[in-house]
Every structure is written in structure tokens, then in C-alpha cells.
A and B are shown apart, each in its own frame.
Chain A
Amino acid sequence: MDMLTQWVGWLPNLAPGVLVSLQLTGFSLLFGFPLGLLFAVMAEAKFLPLQWISFLFVEVGRGLPALVLLYLLYFSLPDAGITLTSLTTAIIALSWNAGAYASEYFRAGLAAVPLGQKEAAITSGLRGWTGFRIVILPQALRISTPPLAGLAVLMFQGSSLAFVIAVPELMSKAFQIASITFEYISVYTLTAVIYGSITLVFLGFVRVLERRLGRHLERR
């Protein structure tokens, strides 16, 4: 009971943190997914330097721990004369991370579209970008959506990393409360509950989405 009254008291302090966490996740996905699609398309480009750039960004974004990526930008951007808020820095780092992972899912999706579709598009007079946009992309996106939704859930958990560069998100708010009240177990349990319940809600959405996208495959 004691813990519950504490929790009710802390919620107003944690709520803004939850909003920042969601904001951070939202922006990282908003920038990360298109970036991932761009990397995926670049990886298939005929112009080799584009392939190399895509390879470099994807491998660095996936190969480095997200935490190292975050620190890398946080410690190096100011030296390059770029001063950003810690939230913006975190959004850039997590978008890069999300983009690198997303590009693999987009690539898998694009690769799964049969070659005949491309040929059919060309035969129908839909060349290059138009054919890609109208014929190939919609089919690829349908295939890539479930893993991308899973990635979105992971990105929400990953947003907790922004704590280390003092973004005022849920984890930092919890840390502040804990260092004032010394009620570590109670504070971090509440934090875990908040992260857990939001993740579960997201997972529920993902499941609904998967079912909807797979509807045409179900046997009747």
C-alpha cells in the first residue's frame, strides 16, 4: 500500500518524462524509417559510391551499440561547431540506429517482390521511379511492415538510452526522483511498470496490424 501511495505521488513528475520518451521514439521512427528506405534503395543503386555510402551508414548504425552512437554524436558534434539540444542529438542518433535496422527490413521486402512484377511494370509502360512507386514499393511495404512494427517497439525501449546524455525522458526523471528519495526499488519498479505497459500496448497494435496485413493469406 505504501508503495502505491508513493507511486501516485511520483506520477505527475514522471508523466512529462513519458511524453519526452514517446516524442523521442516518434521522431526517431519518423526520420529513421524513410532513412532506412533510402539506404535500402541506395544499396541496390547501379552507381557504386551510393552503395558504399549506404553500406557505411548501415553497418555503423547497426554494428555500434546505440549507446556508443549516442555518445559519438554527443561528444563530437559540439567540436564540429554544431550545438544541438540533447534531445535533438538523441533523435539523430536513434534515427540513424533505426534507419540502419529498418533498411535491412526494407531490403528484404524489396527482394521478396518477384522480378516478374518489375518486368510487368516496364511492359505496362511504368518505367523507373513511377514503376517502383506504383508497383514494387506497395508490395514490398506490405512484407516489411510486421518487422518494422517490431522495430518500433524496440525503439521505444531504446529511447531509455537517451538518459545518458541527460534528455529529460522517463528514465532520467526516475533517476532524479530516486536520487532525492533513495527509494530506488519503488521508483524503478514504477518505471519498469510504465515501460512495460506502454510496450504491451504497442505489441497489441503490432499483433492487430500483422493480422490485418495477413488477411488476404488466410484460408477460408
Chain B
Amino acid sequence: MIAQLLLTIAQGVGLTLYVTGASLLFGGAIGLVLVAAVRSRIPVISGIATLYINVVRVVPPITWLFLIYFGLPQYALRLSAIQAAIVGFSLIASAFMAEIYRSGLLSIPDAQREAAHALGLSPVATVGHIITPQAFRVALPAVASYAIGLLKDSALASTIGVREITYYAQQSARQTHEGLLSFIIAGVLYIVISLVVAVISRRVDLRLRRKIGVA
């Protein structure tokens, strides 16, 4: 019984990872643009970016998903459930990633920028070679814990019919009446994936520490 349930529910692992990974990727990229916009000297741009981040964060993820999945077809923009989930979670992730980047950037002392300037580096080179590598290392643990948070949030995609872990667990629970077992298996799968992400991030973090040589 357990083996059968595990096989059924594990079918969802692929889509869980796909939705989480794609959203993290797109969200991470949009987040970069956002953080640049927030730090822009033009008040309109930084104002809009800040507003976007706050609006995204104060609305629950499930409301975003429903707005995108059920709402957008009204404007003749029909997305599949998977696409809608990725769009929704990318939107949410972009706001959170922007905040993570921002705190990473804030942790770099101004003296680094001044030193780069004194050495005659161009602003682009300063950002590319001095600020970003250091900020990345500071932000990495936060990115990893956000990735785990997003993994757990991706369970919400089941509510719009994405066939990920929670979706299959729910199906099994209804069909086999093994509710407890189905969701314990789903929970174990989520915890195992989280642990893998945590271990990988720690490895990368340690390697970066050694490479850059900061304690």
C-alpha cells in the first residue's frame, strides 16, 4: 500500500520542482531588474518598483493564482494551469527576491564602492566585479531559504489543477481513503526535497567562503 501510494504521489515531484525552479529563475531575474529600479535615482521608477513589491507581498499567493488563472482569460489570455502557476509564483518570487538582493547590497560597505572608484573602475565594472560577487555571497543563504519557502508555496498550484505532489496526494486520499498516509508521504517528499536544497546551498556557501576568503 505504502509503495503504491508513494509511486503515485512521487509522480508529482517533477512538476513541483519544475514550477518551483522556473518561478525561482524568472522571479530571480525580474527581482534583479526590480532592485535596480528601487535603487534608481529617478523617483518615478523607484516609486513604481517599491509599489510593485509591496502590492505583490500584501496579497496572499492563492489570490494571485486565481486572479491569473481565472482572470486573465477574460482578456483573451488563456494560460494552462502550469503556465499560470509559473507566472503567479514568478510574480511573487520577484518581489521577495528583490528584497533579498536589496539586503545583500546593503550589507556591502560604501567603502568598497569608493575604493573601486579610487582605483578607476567604471560604474559597470564596480557593480560587476566588486559589488555583485560580495552581495551574492551574503544573499545566498536567504535565497536558499526562500527557495525552500517557494517549494512549499508551490503546493498551492494544486488548487488550480497543476498535477504536482499535493495534487496527487489529494487524489490518492479521495480514491483510497488513506488520507493520513497519502499526506504523510507528500510531507516526507517535501521535507526530503527541502533537505537536499539546504545541503546543496550549504556546500555552495562553504565553497564560496573558501574562494573569496571571508570568514
Contact = CB atoms under 8 A, between A and B. Distances in A.
A161 B62 contact: yes
Interface stretch (A12-20, A45-53, A122-130, A193-201): A193-201
B180 A185 contact: no
B152 A64 contact: yes
B173 A75 contact: yes
Contacts of B55: 196
A196 B70 contact: no
A64 B156 contact: no
Given A64-B152, A71-B166, A188-B70, A160 B173 contact: no
Interface residues of A, number: 38
A160 B60 contact: yes
Contacts of B177: 79
A67 B156 contact: yes
B94 interface: no
A46 B7 CA distance: 41
A188 B74 contact: no
Contact of B152 (A65, A178, A195, A203): A65
B8 interface: no
B180 A63 contact: no
Nearest to A185: B71
Contacts of B184: 72
A71 B168 CA distance: 12
A34 to B, nearest CB: 24
Interface string A168-185: 000100110010000011
A161 B166 CA distance: 13
**Interface hub of B73, B154, B155 (most chain A Cβ within 10 A):** B155
B186 to A, nearest CB: 5
B131 to A, nearest CB: 28
Nearest to A178: B70
A196 B71 contact: no
Interface string B64-93: 101100111111000000000000000000
A163 interface: yes
Contacts of B152: 64-66
A195 B58 contact: yes
A76 B184 CA distance: 10
Interface of B: 55, 58-64, 66-67, 70-75, 152-156, 158-159, 166, 169-170, 173, 177, 179-180, 182-184, 186-187, 190-191, 194
The 6 closest A-B pairs by CB, nearest first: A75-B179, A76-B180, A65-B155, A65-B152, A72-B183, A184-B70
Interface of A: 59-60, 63-69, 71-72, 74-76, 78-80, 157-158, 160-161, 163-164, 171, 174-175, 178, 184-185, 188-189, 191-192, 195-196, 199-200, 203
